[in-house]
Amino acid sequence: MDKNLAFADYVVFIVYFIIVAGYGYSIYHKRKKNEHDAKAYFLAEGTLTWWAIGASLIASNISAEQFIGMSGEGFFLGIAVAAYEWIAAIALIIVAVWFIPVYLKNKIYTMPQFLKTRYNESTALIMAVFWLFLYVFVNLTSILYLGAVAINGIAGGGYLHTIMVGLAIFALLISLGGMKVVAYTDVIQVAVLIIGGLVTTYIALTTVGEYFGVGQNAIAGFKVLMKEAPEHFKMIIPRPTADSSQNDINKYITFPGLLAYVAGIWIINLNYWGCNQYITQRALGADLQTARTGILFAGLLKLLMPLIVMLPGIAAFVLYNNPEVAKNLSPLVGGKDGAYSAVLTFLPTGLKGLSVAALTAAIVASLAGKVNSISTIYTLDIHKKYFQKESSEKSQVYTGRIAVLIAMILAVMFTWSDLLGIGGKGGFTFIQQYTGYISPGVFAMFLLGMFWKRTTGAAAIAGLLTGFLLSVLFNEFAPQLFGNETFLYTAYHTVQNGKEVFVIPFHICMGLSFLFTMIVMVAISLGGPKINPKAFLLDKEMFKLKPQTTALIVITLLIIIALYVKFW
């Protein structure tokens, strides 16, 4: 096995780069007459098809944290981590049916605009700043760092910073063209991502079959995985007992069995897919039916993602945990987050280049989508309102491009030496945990703001602060202050940064934070008018579904039910 890329791999990768860059330029050239149209730049208003919306959602969502982070969690947890993807498909149904109609009916183009329209200016400004910091210092940095580390490992090492800068520049070339260029190049990116990802999974399964003497057969290889690691094919991780090993406790801390489904994973997914500028921006410029179909198409694609990003991690676990097999393999570098890179070493020349292209496609698409959202929020919700109120369309586009450039420079600066410690936590967990600090408050604000007319602006600000403070309390201080065992939670022993500590699983922290935030918001709102003057007008017609929409929903739900019946 040659870990380094061969000439043919570089050729495949360069061809991919030329195709994406060339297609992106052609899209940009076609819309050059609207180059200084702010809504066209930020939203591609009215020009995205349902398949472009769906593909762009997936390309922007699936990035280094999935390929590297989720594959790593597949190595550690097994199929339980697929819940993030399969529950996401249900969350996308909820967003398509109930959230998007509210946004489109009220002409909402950014999430801070939603908060200003429904609540007040203060709430919108606070959240705009929150989102900018989150997107730059958690999402951009983690995507860039994990992606550069993975590709550097595949290339043989020694190129980390060169790759980091290359990824940033590639993403800039796409994102500076605006949302339409981002979305339509995402169609190519997601095709490369899926094809390359499936090739990697196929090779991983046939490699397992070969090493375990059942032949180079993917189905046989999958059966070997189920035989050698049966605990990795259970969706529900059992609650630890007095006899549980530390490894089993750590698994439960990462994904606490049935309790993860009570609140945590729903808050993560509904907040991400329904209250997140980075995601909803793709659908906000379309008509309702196009937006719905695109979102549901993305939901179907989500069902496929564990096959691409999780199974290679389980394959790596089985290969590297069999002493007789492992002695013939290259070392697994970087712990669980090195699982995907290890699997790529088994690919033959040429196909390795295709898989690196798939990984690069995922990284670049996410980076481009993220910086586009950063520029949209900054330009429309901060710069235009507080610094240049009379800015022209041309000036707004120029400001958006400067914001893109600055955001990417900041991301490179903070990932250059991993100042945020992304590598130490594990990429996927890093993103989920730190996003989870604001998710309970944000989701409560949006949920009550959309569907309870009594919710007030004061309740929204109180909810935002309550959600954040309670998330910090439960994640960082509750065991020391209130003990390891209470009627609300159980804290479990683990080791973090070389220290023995007791922690509450972060899904449970999110659920508790959300519960108390909702109570606070409801209590404050009850002191206000029965119908808030800023409440949205809702009617039943907004939520009616066409037959083809209902059919897509039923197909998605039936597949999810079948998967859970099989792997429960």
Whether 405 is in a domain gets the answer yes
What's the pLDDT score for residue 222? Answer: 93
Q: Considering only CA atoms, which of 129, 147, 167 is closest in space to residue 408?
A: 167
CATH at 23: 1.20.1730.10
What's the pLDDT score for residue 64? Answer: 65
Compute the distance between CA of residue 517 and CA of residue 51 in angstroms, rounded to an integer: 37
What's the pLDDT score for residue 425? Answer: 54
Compute the distance between CA of residue 187 and CA of residue 52 in angstroms, rounded to an integer: 6
Beta bridge mates, 501: 494
Which phi and psi (to 5°) does residue 502 adopt?
Answer: -110, 130
Which phi and psi (to 5°) does residue 519 adopt?
Answer: -60, -45
Pick the residue with more confidence: 173 or 494? Answer: 494
Specify whether the CB–CB gap between 106 and 261 falls below 8 A: no
Token output for 386: 């507080």
Whether 300 is in a domain gets the answer yes
SS3 31: coil
Looking up tokens 């699983």 gives 505
The model's pLDDT over 431-477, given as tens digits with 9 standing for 90+, comes to 666 777 888 999 999 999 999 999 999 999 999 899 999 999 998 89
The model's pLDDT over 428-443, given as tens digits with 9 standing for 90+, comes to 566 666 777 888 999 9
Q: Considering only CA atoms, which of 306, 290, 206, 234 is closest in space to residue 559?
A: 306
Whether 86 is in a domain gets the answer yes
Let me know if 413 is exposed, middle or buried by CB neighbors in 10 A (0-12, 13-18, 19+): exposed
Count of Cβ atoms closer than 10 Å to residue 554 Cβ = 10
3-state DSSP percent of the chain in helix, strand and coil, to 5 = 75, 0, 25
Whether 157 is in a domain gets the answer yes
Calculate the dihedral angle through the C-alpha atoms of 234, 238, 244, 249, rounding to the nearest 10 degrees. 90
What's the pLDDT score for residue 30? Answer: 67
**pLDDT averaged over the chain?**
84
> What sections of 348-493 are H helices per DSSP?
351-376, 393-415, 422-425, 427-435, 439-451, 457-472, 478-482
Cα–chain-centroid distance for residue 239?
Answer: 26
- Cα distances (Å, whole numbers) of residue 1 to 115, 237, 348: 54, 35, 8
Compute the distance between CA of residue 37 and CA of residue 505 in angstroms, rounded to an integer: 46
Q: How many structural domains does the chain have?
A: 1
Compute the distance between CA of residue 354 and CA of residue 9 in angstroms, rounded to an integer: 7
Q: At what angle do helices 160-175 and 351-376 cross, to 10 degrees?
A: 60
Give the residue-averaged pLDDT of 501-524. Answer: 94
Residue 196 has pLDDT above 60, yes or no: yes
Which phi and psi (to 5°) does residue 492 adopt?
Answer: -115, 150
Specify whether the CB–CB gap between 95 and 103 falls below 8 A: no
Q: Considering only CA atoms, which of 123, 67, 501 is closest in space to residue 310?
A: 67
The model's pLDDT over 515-540, given as tens digits with 9 standing for 90+, comes to 999 999 999 999 989 989 998 888 88
- Cα distances (Å, whole numbers) of residue 338 to 46, 67, 245, 424: 42, 10, 23, 12
Place 276 in a pLDDT band, splitting at 50, 70 and 90.
confident
What's the pLDDT score for residue 45? Answer: 55
Give the residue-averaged pLDDT of 484-500. Answer: 88
> How much of the chain exceeds pLDDT 90, in percent?
31
Helix (H) or strand (E) holding 192: helix 179-211
Whether 324 is in a domain gets the answer yes
Count of Cβ atoms closer than 10 Å to residue 496 Cβ = 10
What's the pLDDT score for residue 431? Answer: 66
Calculate the dihedral angle through the C-alpha atoms of 8, 9, 11, 15, rounding to the nearest 10 degrees. 140
Q: Considering only CA atoms, which of 143, 118, 66, 142 is closest in space to residue 442?
A: 118
Count of Cβ atoms closer than 10 Å to residue 105 Cβ = 15
Residue 113 has pLDDT above 60, yes or no: yes
- Cα distances (Å, whole numbers) of residue 52 to 49, 127, 205, 295: 5, 28, 31, 10
Place 179 in a pLDDT band, splitting at 50, 70 and 90.
low
Range of the domain at 350: 7-35+51-222+280-415
Whether 347 is in a domain gets the answer yes
What's the pLDDT score for residue 495? Answer: 83
The model's pLDDT over 221-238, given as tens digits with 9 standing for 90+, comes to 999 999 999 999 999 999
Whether 172 is in a domain gets the answer yes
What's the pLDDT score for residue 177? Answer: 67
Give the residue-averaged pLDDT of 260-268. Answer: 88
Whether 443 is in a domain gets the answer no
Q: How open is the CA angle 297-298-304, to the nearest 5 degrees?
A: 100
Place 426 in a pLDDT band, splitting at 50, 70 and 90.
low
What's the pLDDT score for residue 1? Answer: 43
pTM summary value: 0.86
Q: How open is the CA angle 307-310-316, to the nearest 5 degrees?
A: 115
Q: Considering only CA atoms, which of 69, 92, 204, 79 is closest in space to residue 138?
A: 69
Listed in sequence order, the residues at least 6 apart from 360 whose beta carbon sits closer than 8 Å to its beta carbon are 13, 16, 147, 151, 167, 170
> What sections of 241-338 are H helices per DSSP?
246-254, 257-259, 265-274, 277-280, 288-309, 311-320, 323-326
Least confident residue range of 142-146, 205-209, 243-247:
142-146
Spell out the long-range contacts of 255-259 with Cβ–Cβ below 8 A and sequence spacing 24 or more: 255/77, 255/80, 255/81, 255/83, 255/505, 255/507, 256/505, 256/507, 256/508, 259/505, 259/507, 259/508, 259/511
The model's pLDDT over 22-73, given as tens digits with 9 standing for 90+, comes to 777 776 666 555 555 556 556 555 567 888 888 878 877 777 667 777 888 8
Least confident residue range of 144-148, 303-307, 408-412:
144-148
